[in-house]
Homo-oligomer: A and B are copies of this chain.
Amino acid sequence: MNPIRVSVYEDNDTLRESLSYLIMGSEDMELCGAWSDCAKVMENCTLFKPRVILMDIDMPGISGIEATSMIKAVFPEINILIFTVFEDESKVFDALCAGASGYLLKKSKSIQILEAIVELHNGGSPMTGEIARKVLEFFSRPTSKKKNEYTLSDREMDILKCLVNGESYKKIAENCFISTSTVCTHINSIYRKLHVNSKSEAVIKALKERLVG
Contacts and interface: CB of A to CB of B under 8 A. Distances in A.
Copies of this protein in the assembly total 2
A204 B140 contact: no
Interface in A140-176: 140, 143-144, 163-166, 168
Interface string A81-104: 000000000000100111111000
Given A198-B168, A207-B207, A123 B133 contact: yes
A80 to B, nearest CB: 10
A93 B140 CA distance: 10
A139 interface: yes
| Most chain B beta carbons < 10 A, residue from A123, A126, A166, A199 | A166
Given A139-B97, A140-B96, A204 B127 contact: no
Contacts of A165: 204
Contact of A130 (B76, B124, B201): B124
Given A200-B166, A203-B204, A136 B135 contact: yes
23 contacts: A76-B144, A96-B139, A98-B140, A98-B143, A100-B136, A101-B136, A119-B129, A122-B129, A123-B129, A124-B128, A124-B129, A124-B133, A125-B132, A125-B135, A132-B132, A135-B135, A163-B200, A166-B198, A166-B201, A199-B200, A200-B203, A203-B203, A207-B207
